[in-house]
A and B are shown apart, each in its own frame.
Chain A
């Protein structure tokens, strides 16, 4: 009797996890574990609550679980609607949006939402849907249509202004477009131009960052942000302070780190946003290069697994969607670590599954759910 009860419970428990990709699940568990451990240290003496973190993790898992059960076909049919609603909300933001800290990003519909977050998922869905529709009959003007689908929301977000999110949405869309077969001869000139630009900025950094030099097309504060990156000490008490202090935290961690709860930079409040965007600095200080290599290995495994799932996906929509979602994970991780370690300008990008914050965790859980759903439904469609 008792034994069968245990067996029954075991069965129910297993059925909850059945269909979830085991590899992906373990990797995510590992990252969430790192996130949780770091959160405990980072949130010491701060008003962020331990229960909130648990709830967010649970919520993220629940979203992932639900989405993993949703057949990709459903996503395909709702893609246009989701995109449409997202676009409408962005237009509404532009007209009625709430202004906080000089930016118009939020909409009050009984509760406050940030529609640009939705666009991060809606964009790859929509573009993957579009290229699925055009499969086999693709013409070069299809890329023009894709550019319009991509461009309008990105411009709306950039105008809010929220350059960080705009870039992420743009990247999410570009991944789909490139993977859908955008010809190399159209890609490479831009890559070359970008690389050339970066090299120019690094070489002539001090000249173009001079006080009276005005950059065309960008806001003064954006110029300031790039210039601060090139020379953090030029603004040691402002934006540069954050970069300098997080670099100190990472560097002082050394190979083995200072130990859990032993990070002085974090515990003495030198690290800004230490449980959200700059959580990597806290982890780095306490667990050192060794910890970082483990974390990067987990992220790399996550991306490899995501790409592998996409490569074996049954149709173009799922392939493009899966790969794009995976590359968004990569982009988040790369941009976040790059910014915290002083390699990239400071933009508000969380570290996937590690940063505290409900919205990001839910969005990421949604993405992971998509990957799992694609994996779960591959045979069903194929057969």
Chain B
């Protein structure tokens, strides 16, 4: 048993002292904690408090316009009332909310799908349009019921619109809601950009960016068109309720992009193609301005802006016509006979031929145990250089190809841009194939495939074999020839316009380089090409023009016939020959060159050249074909 002293005052006082010590210790602990929070970590917490109370409310910038070379607006904005849902204030089930809203305003299944997709894509952050272009009656009905829908509001929004719908869709492209991936990409771009880079992303305020260009010029000129989103600094409560605006930073509208394209010419050509598939590129050789950039069939870029519905998307994607495929940029075709003028120029420049040197054409050329046929039975007889172009004599070029060899052809054609990236201001350009022994070695895996066979050289002379170029490259090559070897980078945009001052800044690229050519040699080729339209394969098409025009038809085989006769009518549509045509006009001082293909149409002279004739008639003389509806400016 423990015994206890009588608890006297001394013992009590001793314990009071200990209690005082304990209390003092605890208070020192608190003071240490407060010093830690309020002195040592003050900066960190001050910042946190500031971040807490300030929200940045984005003010999207007006997107710049797309304007053609003559001032016609082909991409613009309009304002409309939209039903917006603020994800942060949304409570409960999204579907139930939409069900309830749909009793007040019309919400199509498509609206619902689009909303839910963008809502989920953006991880439920931000404000999303549920229904755009509300009618007056709908607006009134919603305003009367708005108390039932916290987080849902009506706002005026700016929408992108392509007033001519399908017209020039492949070059314009379209914009779409910014995705998480877009944002990550932009973030990386901001971090890597240099301060002095004028093309760098102009802002770090990503939340204000709601739409970005997805393809076409909308994509490649995104940084110019977008502008700088502004924002209001708003003080908010813990619940996200705005209290007052502290400051605001206005948005800077995007700049207008002035195209080098003549949209009327573009429209005409698209109409002339009718139901044919194909690609058509027209370039002003002296500047590299692209005047028309046609890919048929088209699609309607307006369908994509607010998110395309799955039915339309499936239709576009599954169509064997491949309407989403940018043919002039990505489609590669054998150039066929349109390659012959370039081959002839190569012959002159490499001194393998003189203009007057002739061959005798029996209608075929035997090489090893293979016979290369000419398209004219019995042959063209005695053929010099001009005749070889005018009558499109294959045998002349079989021999020429054999004499030059694959690498000499490659080295001559490369500076013209064949099988090279032209550097056009669109993304996703195909490189095509300009064959050489080295190309073959690098392309194939097995050693027996890597070897170049002499027989493979022969058909290269008539633009077949491994040759595969884009129509853009063909047009670029034509422009370089028409421009006497001065190479201009092809481009769709010629200037950037300030939306307020209307001041234009030229973006036209300067001369890229010169191909060293003998002027007389160029003249021989040009003269022969003019003769093609006077007495050659496309003479009937160009009868009665008020200008001199040089051209060359081409017919490209889609599959190898293996010496069998080609019968257009009995061949399956997608296996029929492509009709090609290249041209420059006026012949003395070309202001326009054309390269085009009409897919699976047949002979170039029959199907391609007439389109080129009408395009040139319009561009050079202002003549509009009767069968094509008049151009109407969009309201």
Chain A residues proximal to chain B, CB less than 8 Å: 131, 135-136, 138-140, 175, 178-181, 183, 245, 247-255, 264-265, 268-270, 284, 288-289, 292-293, 296, 299-300, 303-304, 307, 310-311, 316, 319, 323, 327, 330, 334, 337-338, 341-343
Measuring CB to CB, which residues of chain B are less than 8 angstroms from any residue of chain A? 1-2, 4, 6-7, 11-13, 15-16, 19-20, 23-24, 26-27, 29-31, 33-35, 37-39, 41-42, 44-46, 48-50, 52-53, 235-239, 243
B45 A248 Cβ-Cβ under 8 A? yes
Chain B residue at minimum C-beta to C-beta distance from A264: B53
- B33 in complex: contacting residue of A293, A303, A341, CB < 8 Å: A341
Give which listed residue, A183, A252, A307, contacts B49 with CB less than 8 A: A252
Q: Are A253 and B38 touching (Cβ within 8 A)? A: yes
A300: which of B6, B7, B16, B27 is its contact (CB, 8 Å)? Answer: B27
Q: Is the CB of B44 within 8 A of A179?
A: no
Inter-chain CA distance A138–B27, complex, in Å, is: 34
Q: Is the CB of B23 within 8 A of A251?
A: no
CB–CB B4/A139 < 8 A: yes
B4, A249: Cβ atoms closer than 8 Å: no
A residues near B41, Cβ cutoff 8 Å: 251
19 new A-B pairs (CB below 8 Å) besides A249-B49, A264-B235, A270-B53? A136-B6, A138-B4, A139-B4, A140-B2, A245-B238, A247-B37, A248-B49, A250-B34, A251-B46, A251-B49, A252-B42, A254-B38, A254-B42, A264-B52, A300-B27, A310-B16, A311-B13, A334-B26, A341-B34
* A307–B34 alpha-carbon span in the complex (Å): 25
Verify B38–A311 contact, CB threshold 8 A. no
Determine the chain B residues whose CB is within 8 A of the CB of A319 once the complex forms.
12
CA distance A183 to B6 in the complex (A): 13
Q: Are A327 and B30 in contact (CB under 8 A)?
A: no
Closest to A337 in B: B30
Chain A residues with Cβ under 8 A from B4's Cβ? 138-140, 181
Q: What are 16 contact pairs spanning A and B, CB under 8 A?
A: A138-B4, A140-B2, A183-B2, A253-B42, A255-B42, A307-B19, A311-B16, A316-B7, A327-B19, A327-B23, A334-B26, A337-B30, A341-B34, A342-B33, A343-B30, A343-B33
CA distance A179 to B8 in the complex (A): 11
CB nearest to A252 among chain B residues: B49
Query: Complex Cα distance A82/B506, Å?
Result: 94
- Report yes or no: B27 in contact with A179, Cβ–Cβ below 8 A: no
Contacts known (A248-B45, A269-B239); A289 close to B39, Cβ less than 8 A? yes
Report chain B residues within 8 Å CB of A254. Answer: 38-39, 42, 46
Interface centre among A139, A252, A255 (most CB of B within 10 A): A252
**Lowest 10 A-B CB distances belong to which pairs?**
A251-B45, A252-B49, A289-B38, A251-B37, A252-B46, A252-B45, A269-B238, A270-B238, A254-B42, A268-B237
Q: Are A341 and B7 in contact (CB under 8 A)?
A: no
User: B178: shortest Cβ distance to chain A, in Å?
Assistant: 27
- Partner of A293 from the list B1, B31, B50 (CB cut-off 8 Å) is B31
> In the bound complex, how far is the Cα of B41 from the Cα of A310, in angstroms?
40
Contact B39 A255 (CB under 8 A): yes
* Residue contact A292 to B7, C-beta cutoff 8 Å: no
Q: Which of A138, A288, A330 contacts B23 (CB 8 A)?
A: A330
- Distance between Cα atoms of A265 and B47 in the complex (Å): 12
Query: Which listed residue, A269, A296, A337, touches B237 by the CB 8 Å rule?
Result: A269
Contacts of A296 in B (CB 8 A): 27, 30-31
Instruction: Kindly state the separation between the CA atoms of A272 and B38 in the bound complex, as whole angstroms.
Output: 20
Q: Output the nearest chain A residue to B5 by Cβ-Cβ distance.
A: A181
CA distance A179 to B9 in the complex (A): 11
Nearest CB in chain B to that of A256: its residue: B38
Which B residues lie within 8 Å of A343 (CB)?
29-30, 33
- A264: chain B residues within 8 A (beta carbon): 49-50, 52-53, 235
Q: With the chains together, A327 CA to B26 CA distance in Å?
A: 12
A319 to B7, CA, bound (A): 12
Complexed CA–CA distance, A121 and B27 (Å): 24
Whether A255 lies near B23 (C-beta < 8 A) is no
Residues of B within 8 A of A289 (CB): 34-35, 38-39
* CA of A343 to CA of B37, assembled, Å: 11
Residues of chain B within 8 A (CB-CB) of A303 are 20, 23
Please name all residues of chain B whose beta carbon is closer than 8 Å to the beta carbon of A300 when the two chains form the complex: 23-24, 27
CB-CB nearest in chain B for A297: B27
User: Chain B residues near A250 (CB, 8 Å)?
Assistant: 34, 37-38, 45
The answer to whether B26 touches A330 (Cβ under 8 A) is yes
Closest A residue to B7 using CB positions: A181
Q: Give chain A residues whose Cβ lies under 8 Å from the Cβ of B49.
A: 248-249, 251-252, 264-265
- Rounded to whole angstroms, the CA-CA distance of A338 and B75 in the bound complex is 63
Closest chain-A Cβ to B3's Cβ sits at a distance in Å of 8
A252-B23 CB under 8 A given contacts A140-B1, A293-B31, A307-B16: no
User: Once the chains are docked, how many angstroms separate the CA of A310 from the CA of B31?
Assistant: 26
- Chain A residues whose C-beta falls within 8 Å of the C-beta of B11 in the assembled complex: 181
- How far apart sit A304 and B1, CA to CA, in the bound complex (Å)? 36
